[in-house]
Structure 1
Amino acid sequence: MVGPTFDMSKEAARREAARKEVAPWGSVLAYVTIVLEVIAWLLIPVAAFVSTAYLLLLAFGLLLLAAALQEGLASALKDPILLFFRRGATPCSFRLFSFGLRLLALIWIGLLGFGSLGRDLYRLERHFHSSRDLRRHCTDLPGWLQERCEDGKFPAWAYTECMETAPWHLSGWCNYTAAGAASGLSSAGGSVGLVLIFGPMVAPLCLVFLYGLEACCRCCSSDANPRPVESKDEAAPTPGLIQKILVAKDIFLVALDFLLDSSCVVTFFLAGHRWFGAVAFGILLWSVGQQVAENSLKTMHSEAVASISAGMLSDGLLKLTRSEKSVEAPLSLMLQVYAFPYVSISSRYAVASFSFSILTSIYTISGAVYKLLYLDLLPVVASGQREVLREESYAPVLHPNE
């Protein structure tokens, strides 16, 4: 039986060293930019749940079209992380496209606060705090709102009036307002909801500054193409305790993210959100199905032990976690952010588990984008052909307009 190999992690280290040789701060700047990019993408589900779910379908349709043209439809469907990021150096054309898409979401949200439409929605929001007809006609509401209506958190007529008055493209505001009134804006659910709204709105502003800083760093660098770092045959140094702890932490967080997403599936069904639960369960099966197809689950324990001992992730573990990072994590993150107002009124456990799952997914996706896409290891990890690493000299993906 062949033991665990570490060719991919060694290649990742060589590629990162090659980039640092050209721009010492390039890796740090790239990772910070990636984290902000992940947070900024949350503008899409945020705008969708305060307006209409059709915006979510429109955005995913445009992203799938762009990814299919650039990476191919099969690759985009196998690794949905390619919907939001590109391999290697991100082309300026895609940055402009993604920034415009998120700007559209910001404008959509802005419609809620300006002009006569904003005043009408504010008037409808005040009705949710009325004491008239409390605890009456609650059975006319959707199932997820009935319990809170019977508890006297808001009147049923306010929700009905809102749905009848608000235009179709802003009807989601009624659900968001009802969820806020039911959970209380001063509660944990309301506080996290405000963070989910304003965090993604601030992230694009920070990205504009970082894009400019990154462009200056590239212009000032003496060489536009990183040179390969020669591989030496000498034995790798013995990993220290810190390296082992960091590898164990990465393995733990990936497993935790998977468990939290599984917990969210159960929470959806327990709270009566069967459609959300079905979609989340389908995403989970999609990810696990890819892992089972590669027969990588059998060696998970041995690969994890070997990775911790070696102080780096093994090839088998990288392949094992690829589908969780590139399939399940990004799609589950979008769904959880969109559905958070709906489940926040269910229980404090739902608020805590969803909040923790969202934070863990942001960390997991950011690391995956950096290693699989920025260092361009996704094709090798997906195919499992280690000989590619030995046959090819390092030539990172650079787009013509970079």
Structure 2
Amino acid sequence: MGLTAIDLGLRGAASGVFLLIILAALLRRATSQQALLGMAMSAGGVFYAIATAPFFPKSSWWWVLPIMSAQPALFWLWARSAFDDDFVLRRWHGALWLGIVAFGFALTLGWAYSPALAGAGGRGLALLNLALALAAAVQTVKTWRADLVARRRRLRLAMLAINVGLIVVFAGAGFAAIPVAVPGAPGSLPTALVLFVVAMMAGVGTLATPPAVPVDDVTAAIASGEAGGADRAPSARVVVDPLLLRRLDHLMSVERTYRQEGLAIGALAARLGVPEHRLRQAINEGLGYRNFNAYLNHYRIADARLALSDVTQREVPVLTIAMDAGFQSIGPFNRAFKAETGVTPTEFRREALSRPVMADIGEPQREIG
């Protein structure tokens, strides 16, 4: 009974932290897709902590298990939104979650009539959960190097390891004799301990995260070398070296280093002669970018817009312009260009070249971007 009491206490503490995360998001009026998915994940954590607790009535598992079986899909979507700044939640994502829940209900209700068929379906559902866990792992690893947010870089791998571990255990139980299994019931202290650790890490990552520093006139003035920028907004928490920002701006604006194929932040830091973590801090806290690729694409898209607007380059293929700007293929270029301008490169060129030539005479040059 002593271990059971500890088990229940850990589950209660984890549920309390998850509820605090939801409350904090509601008080902040957070409406971003990451916040909504985070609240859904937290609610799922509370549900999981209760449903897998010792002495939870097994008679309720027929409706509990299908909902829990869709938790890996929620985690995958949360990982996409948390670790990919370009991710957009689509309707088919919700349809996937509902489909898994419906399939789980079909398995639990059909278990009494066809155990063999339900068991096969449960193993298929377990494979799907493992695939979603693997997809979340790949997403985290794929975007780890380009991540400029120090707190997110520190927490993402630990959170991923623990959450994927839970998903693997949960999905692995699907290969057992029941269609959707729960690693709970009496003696589930390890599950409760992992839930508590996950809740604490999620709480630290959510409740202790300071507001992001936006791109404002101060950072723009520092990057361009203009004087008096810091006096205009003394509350801005910019702690990076102004000289480093000016050197970085020179590399990008004058030497056009962004055109280098496959440019990584490590290579850029070596060229500047500074530690990589200092460069990450400069771009994130000094210029407001959360992702290194987004920072490079700012300059690359501006370069491409100039080329696409140039009458003398009207016959140059869009792919050539994209690769000259630093993109390695046409797909990422088209997506980044449309996200930045709202139109495709071809549409932008057609509109830019159709404007009367005399309309721009006498207008001052403006920076594109």
TM-score of the alignment, normalized to the shorter chain, above 0.5: no
Length-normalised TM-score, structure 2:
0.30
Length-normalised TM-score, structure 1:
0.28
Of structures 1 and 2, the one with the larger relative CO (CA 8 A, separation 6+) is: 1
